[in-house]
Amino acid sequence: MHILLAEDDTETARFIAEGLTALGHQVTHVATGPLALQAASDATFDAVILDRMLPGLDGLEVLRQLRAVPNRVPVLVLTALGGIADRVDGLDAGADDYLVKPFAFVELAARLNALARRVPGPEQTTRIEIGEIALDLLRREVTRCGKPVHLQPREFALLEQLMRQAGRVVTRTMFLENVWGFHFDPQTNIVESHLSRLRTKLREGFSDDPIETIRGSGYRIRTDA
Amino acid sequence: MRKPRASAAYRIAFTYSAAFTLAILLLGVAIYIAADAQFRRQQDAALVDEASALAHEYNEGDLPEIRHAIARREGSNTINAYGYALFDRTGHRVGGGLNTRKPPVGLQDIVFVDPVEGADHARAYATDLTRGLRLVVARDSESLEGIDQTIVLIFGGAFVLVIGLSVFGALLLGGYLQRRLDGISGVARAIMAGDMAQRVPLSDRRDEFDAVGSALNTMLDRIGQLMDNLRQVSSDVAHDLRTPLLRLRNQLEQVGQVPGAAERAIEQGDAVLALFAALLRIAEVEGGALARSFVATDMTLVVTEIAESYAPAFADSGRTLGWSVAPGITVLGDRELIAQALINLLDNALLHTPPGTPVAVSLEADAHVATVSVADAGPGVPPGDHARILQRFARGEASRTTPGNGLGLSLVAAVTAAHGGTIAVDDNRPGLRVTLRIPRVDAA
């Protein structure tokens, strides 16, 4: 992927750029608001990482001007401000995702993947099939090899997240945001306990687990299952 | 010490005494005018009476008889205050010792010649008798002026005394007020200089100054408590951070030597970050700015969601979670904050009870207040610790060894307060029950 990184803090920028390069991405780094706006207008990027506080032009203002063009490039806003009101401001300005510093690199990488590969209009899909598993979004039904699997609403929502991000990692906080609508991290294992039930139900009558745990990052659905 | 001129205490005292002095002065002038007028009226009446008496007595008599009567009266010691004169038609004085010219009939001020003092003023009454005679009765004005002078003298003396007393009183009152106020400002200055132990001295009189002083002392006690609290929190933060940072350092030392050390170091780092996140979250909630974004929030939905989401975690650990949720209860608030408060309460129930413990969540409401409670049948907390466990970093003795940072309930308390509610910690007999009461609103 070709990623535009707009971040004025040299240390943070180096840490992100090195990490993304190591994952095989191509990174263009700018350190000011006007340069970020110019770079995003001049070239086509798969995703933009935009720091909220940029010299010259505020990150949110860059975002507003981009969206006014309109430029629909996926944008992930980074911020040191974790308040509820700040997050709402960011999403109002047109951010696709919002990540509060300090964050784990795996979290950034997972969210970037989820954003950049978001195919326009997947929400209209009524059926997702990955390997042996099929998800009917209208009837809220799941089958594995044609055999029905009965899931609770939250288990279904977890599986839907995993299948929409087939082959990519979904982190714990992504589950919390998308399934529960929580933008904070409860210190207990509600994600784990629901996932464990989901896995047990999917595995019933089969020998293998279609969901992989990626240690230190999150979960991924196997595309070969 | 302020100069008396700049002192409100002295200004008030002197204004008061000036007003008092002015009132006395006005009173004195009024008394003087009234007394003077009254004396003049009485004198005039006496003159008329005397003239009438003489006229009545001798109206039918001969001139020599009248002259004789006048001479007798002039000679008498008792009524020698009067002077008499008798004039004939031509204006010649034909009787009496009053040396003056023939005046017109009626009351008037006249000039006469005193044998000793020369020309002098007198008050006189003239009336016509028979046979063209005119009788004049007069009284020297000196006597009235003497009375007036006496009044002015007495009053003047009294007035000087009053001014003296009121200035003295004002100095005394001003000094007293200033001394009482200096007591308070002296304490304030000492506290500014760093001596937080200073308190406003109180008298036994329990007056307004004591009431102000007592209120200030209570305020200072409260500030002192808050400062102690802050100091405690700062040292607790330092202490609670040192332990995980030390573990992190040790884990980092083992990276490359012990398998899994890097992952454990990352987990340890996350724990430190979570501690900071919790502290910042509490500060954000306590800051109060969030209330602006509060909206009508369906409590029934939030409580049901959280209970349903937590049921598997409880079941996995061998505990049971039961819930009874009344329908259609709405409060003004933030869904995520309320959810986080509930989650913290349920986390506590998971962390601090043995497996197999039943835990119950309930939501009920009366007309005004929604009541959420989380009750467990675990070991509970000693009643003496019920208030303390709501404070930051407070941990029951029994939970020293279990995970947690002692911030969970502080956040619950902060969230409840931000929603205008109250939090109560009770004995569930057995176990612990935490109850949140939050004002209801009509569903939007």
Helices B142-192, B8-58: axis angle to 10 degrees equals 170
| CB-CB contact of A5 with A27 (8 Å) | yes
Q: Under an 8 A CB cutoff, do A187 and B274 touch?
A: yes
Lowest mean pLDDT among A71-80, B276-285, B364-373: B276-285
Lowest mean pLDDT among B7-16, B37-46, B416-425: B7-16
Which site among A188, A201, A217 would you substitute to test the B interface, given the most B Cβ atoms closer than 10 Å to its Cβ? A188
The fold of the B288-439 domain, in CATH, is: Heat Shock Protein 90 (3.30.565)
Q: Is CATH 3.30.450 the classification given to domain B1-198?
A: yes
Name every chain B residue with its beta carbon within 8 A of the beta carbon of A177: none
* Domain layout of chain A by residue ranges: 2-116, 123-221
Name every chain A residue with its beta carbon within 8 A of the beta carbon of B346: 188
Which of B340, B348, B307 lies closest to B414, judged by CA? B340
Provide the whole-model pTM: 0.64
Is the pLDDT at B76 greater than 90? The verdict is no
| CB-CB contact of B392 with B239 (8 Å) | no
Lowest mean pLDDT among A75-79, A96-100, A214-218, B321-325: A214-218
The CATH code of the domain at A123-221 is 1.10.10.10
Name every chain B residue with its beta carbon within 8 A of the beta carbon of A85: 289-290, 292-293
Q: Under an 8 A CB cutoff, do B340 and A183 touch?
A: no
What residues have CB less than 8 Å from A122, skipping those under 6 apart?
Answer: A164
* Domain layout of chain B by residue ranges: 1-198, 223-285, 288-439
Task: Select the CATH number that applies to the domain covering A2-116 from these four: 3.40.50.1970, 3.40.50.720, 3.40.50.450, 3.40.50.2300.
Answer: 3.40.50.2300
pLDDT band at A70 (very low <50, low <70, confident <90, very high): confident
pLDDT band at B308 (very low <50, low <70, confident <90, very high): very high
Q: Under an 8 A CB cutoff, do B340 and A184 touch?
A: yes
Lowest mean pLDDT among A84-93, B271-280, B328-337: A84-93
Q: Under an 8 A CB cutoff, do A182 and B340 touch?
A: yes
Q: For residue B66, give both structure tokens.
A: 């009248």
Does any CB of chain A come closer than 8 Å to the CB of residue B298?
no
DSSP A123: G
What pLDDT is attached to residue A122?
A: 53
**B291-to-A98, B207, B295 alpha-carbon distances in Å:** 22, 41, 9
> pLDDT tens-digit profile of B375-418?
998 888 888 777 777 777 666 555 545 556 678 888 899 999 99
Q: Under an 8 A CB cutoff, do A84 and B336 touch?
A: yes
Q: For residue B319, give both structure tokens.
A: 């505990």
What pLDDT is attached to residue B247?
A: 84
What pLDDT is attached to residue B333?
A: 92
Comparing B142 with B426, the larger pLDDT belongs to B426
**B332-to-B167, B294, B304, B369 alpha-carbon distances in Å:** 63, 6, 17, 11
Q: Under an 8 A CB cutoff, do A82 and B290 touch?
A: no
How large is the average pLDDT for residues B95-113?
A: 86
- Smallest CA–CA distance from A105 into chain B, residue: B266
